[in-house]
Amino acid sequence: MKIENAVIFDMDGIIIDSEPLWKQAEKEVFSAIGVQIKEELANITASLTTKEVTKYWYNYMPWKGKSLDKVENEVIDLVGHLIKRDGKAIEGIKELLDFFQQKEFKIGLATNSPFKLIPVVLNKIGIADYFDVISSSEFEEEGKPNPAVYLTTAKKLNIKPENCIVFEDSLSGVTAAKKAHMKTVALCPKGEFETEKYDLADLKLTALNSFKNGYLKSLLLN
């Protein structure tokens, strides 16, 4: 009997180059309510859920007049606007989706981003039809590095976690996928490929379009 396999993609940094857009939106929204955004602290929040980010900045510099939910939604709405206007696909993502579709893999998406932004991204890049299921940590008790969103995605796909391959660009995402007992491919940021930071992953890449058939065979055999 043929073993069914799945590939699951993170969204921000794997499908769309959105980190600059998130930073821009957070800076605009939080600065407007008196929070002084520091670059080194903004780097810490990059892999958090929007709810966690909002709590982080509130604890750092509490504001008055707006609820945390309202501020969080203002950030999300601005990010959505920026994605529609300026969003750009990560190089190689469409070719990689074609590759796995031709291999008859089921395809899922698992992100820490709010659920409402998923269709915005997929429609902007023009890849919505590739995905069998989509999942957001918004509906989990904890976001990545907790493995919940990956386990939920595997369950929706009806594929065993050990038969899933995950593409991630953050250490928290790689950690989440490994905790879910999935094969993990790390897209390493520039200058970090040679560091030990992403050694937890089963495979490290510097570009999505460098993923080849030989890598897939190796991942499936391990």
Residues with a catalytic annotation lie at 10, 12
191 Cβ contact partners less than 8 Å away, ≥ 6 residues apart: none
- 98-122 core/surface letters (b: 16 or more CB in 10 A; e: else): ebbeeeebbbbbbbbbbeebbebbb
3-state helix, strand, coil in the chain (%, to 5): 50, 15, 35
Phi first, then psi: what are they for 73, rounded to 5°? -70, -30
The Cα–Cα gap between 170 and 177 comes to: 11
Residue whose entry in the numeric block shows the structure tokens 């959105």: 18
Give the tokens for residue 133: 């299921």
